[in-house]
Amino acid sequence: MIRLKPGDRVDCRVKSNNIIVSYGEYDVTRTFEVVHVDDEGCYVFIPCFIYINGGITLDAAKARRMGVDPRFVGEKISYIAESSICKVSYVLDGMKCIKCQDFFIMAEPNTPEGEFWCRSCRANPYR
């Protein structure tokens, strides 16, 4: 899997309202926001103004289980395989704190393990 993370944007080719493999014949290229990544692909957010076949509506329980940002609850998300990613169009710069899971723009690894630990969590480990 390309090293993606939530918040990144990927370009996918769409044909007849289906996201298709990146080398196929297509109608249009759309940019989608990544909400969750696993080993074979990722879930992308499908905004209501783009009609795509399939996909699921994200409920609160699933969002929690998958660690997806709660702002996507009630929204439509769709799973795409790595082969459907035409290109990564935008990489969100920054890191998630290993403790509180908040995302910090422009954050860089600051632990020996290459992870990021935010200032608030450092100041108050019981946060």
CB of 93 to Zn ion, least distance (A): 18
| CA 122/CA 36 separation, integer angstroms | 26
Helix, coil or strand: residue 41: strand
CB of 102 to Zn ion, least distance (A): 6
- Residue 23 or 125 with smaller CB distance to Zn ion: 125
Question: Please, which of residues 48-107 interact with Zn ion by CB under 5 A?
Answer: 97, 99-100
- Residue 79 or 103 with smaller CB distance to Zn ion: 103
Q: Which two tokens stand for residue 91?
A: 């990489």
Question: In angstroms, what is the C-alpha Rg of the chain?
Answer: 16
Angle at 63 between CA 18 and CA 7, to 5 degrees: 65
- Residue 1 or 100 with smaller CB distance to Zn ion: 100
Could you say whether residue 35 binds Zn ion (CB under 5 A)?
A: no
Could you say whether residue 20 binds Zn ion (CB under 5 A)?
A: no
